[in-house]
Amino acid sequence: MIWSIAWRNVWRNKKRSAIILTAVAFGIWAGLMSNAIMLGASRQMVKSAIETRTSHIQVHREGFRDHHEIDLMIQEPDSVTSVIKSIEGVKAISVRSVLTGMCRSPESGTGVTLFGIKPEDEARVSAIEDKLVDGSFFKDEYRNPIIVGDDLAKKLDVGVGNKIVVNAQDLEGSIAGGAFRVVGIFNTVSSEFDKSNVFALRNDIDEIYELGGGVHEIAVILNSNDMLKTVDEKLKNSLSNLDVATWEEIEPQMSILTGTQKQMSYIFIGIILLALVFGITNTMLMGVLERIRELGVVLSLGMNHFRIFYMILLETIFLSIIGAGGGMLATVGTIAVAGKTGIDLSIVSAGLEAFGMSTMLYPYLPAGEYPVVALMVVVTAVVASIYPGIKAIRLNPVEAIRTY
């Protein structure tokens, strides 16, 4: 019955309760939504990093990642790839040769990383093919085809069908130059990437730069990111003489970002709740002060301090949880809609693209966040009820009944 008294008390002053409920709901909604936007953005960043740059796991010769030295090739690549393919959870791999060099057009030149790939393998590992905005993914029969990013194409002032030259050191240390024909232009979310990476056929690269069939990089895509740890462990064990690196190791700044995000999101909600504590306390205090007589009567009848405090606590929890529940429902609704349609950030997109973010933002909140936030709300309610609760139990019943 104390529960039902507390519940009914919440609705006694509908207007006042509505105000604080709205405030709590709005605060929770705003907090959760900004978390969802943050998490959604970082999830997209990770996804696009995996799809275009890092894959889930990359395998190199020890030291290759530092300076991309051409002679640090993977020895016996065939046996390495068969080891990788035998591990459960591996979905696809792409074996690449990697050179750094200068890319030139008649107009200008710039430094690039040149990947030698097999299109059918690469298509299953990276999303470059899906990101083509012009041309095709090595479908047309040209000599020495190459695919470049849109930012590079712009810089070199070339389009599909134009020729470019890529100069790079060969194994002997002398500069070799290859002429390529642009057959496709891609545009990923990262303009940094689009400016400095080009893809050509591995056989062509092998010939031009005389690599003797050597490769530098094996990119691995897994069935799901959840398997990252286990597959990584297995690979590190069985390929102990090679450098096996997960995307988190390849781009540590990205993993720091996603790793700290959860804590940050709770801190954010915590700050909002801290602000709400004052509002809730104030509402409850008003509720106590306007029923002093009633509290005096129940104290007289023999309702003990524990029960009175408990009643006030329940009222505060109801008030907070209803408000927070409303805010959570609103969040679920907003995410259900915005998670599909996306939020268009194109107004600020130029800035975001440089950070490897998409202009369309899909908010996302893991289901596990809701119960944690609900718990935080209950703790908030407990804190907010202390002062009004103490006020209530400190009442002198004689005074309360005499004067009210």
Partner 1 sequence: MAVIMSEKICKTYNDGGVPVKALKDVDMEIEDGEFTAIVGPSGSGKTTLLNVIGGLDTLTSGKLRVGDKEISEMTPNDLIEFRLNNIGFVFQAYNLIPVLTAIENVEFIMLLQKVSKEERRGRARELLKSVGLEDMINRKPIELSGGQQQRVAVARALASRPRFVLADEPTANLDTASAENLLDIMERMNDEHKMTFIFSTHDQRVVRRARRVITLKDGQVDTDERKGENG
Write out the residues near partner 1 by the rule CB under 8 A: 1-2, 5, 8-9, 12, 293-294, 297-305, 307, 397-398, 401-402
| Of 9 and 380, CB closest to partner 1 | 9
Q: Where are the alpha helices (DSSP H) in 50-180?
A: 64-67, 77-85, 119-125, 150-156
The CB-of-231 to partner 1 minimum distance in angstroms stands at 59
Dihedral (Cα; 54, 208, 123, 152), 10-degree rounding? 60
| Of 5 and 329, CB closest to partner 1 | 5
**Interatomic CA distance for residues 256 and 402, integer angstroms:** 63
The CB-of-12 to partner 1 minimum distance in angstroms stands at 7
Q: What is the CA radius of gyration of the chain?
A: 31
Contact predicate 175/150, CB 8 Å: no
From residue 251, give the alpha-carbon distance in Å to each of 55, 73, 247: 11, 22, 6
The CB-of-10 to partner 1 minimum distance in angstroms stands at 10
| Of 203 and 300, CB closest to partner 1 | 300
The CB-of-21 to partner 1 minimum distance in angstroms stands at 18
The CB-of-323 to partner 1 minimum distance in angstroms stands at 20
Q: Kind of pairing, strands 109-117 and 197-201?
A: parallel
What residue ranges in 40-161 does DSSP mark as E strands?
57-61, 90-104, 109-117, 132-135, 145-149
* 329: three-class secondary structure by DSSP: helix
| Of 1 and 367, CB closest to partner 1 | 1
The CB-of-402 to partner 1 minimum distance in angstroms stands at 7
| Of 5 and 18, CB closest to partner 1 | 5
| Of 302 and 371, CB closest to partner 1 | 302
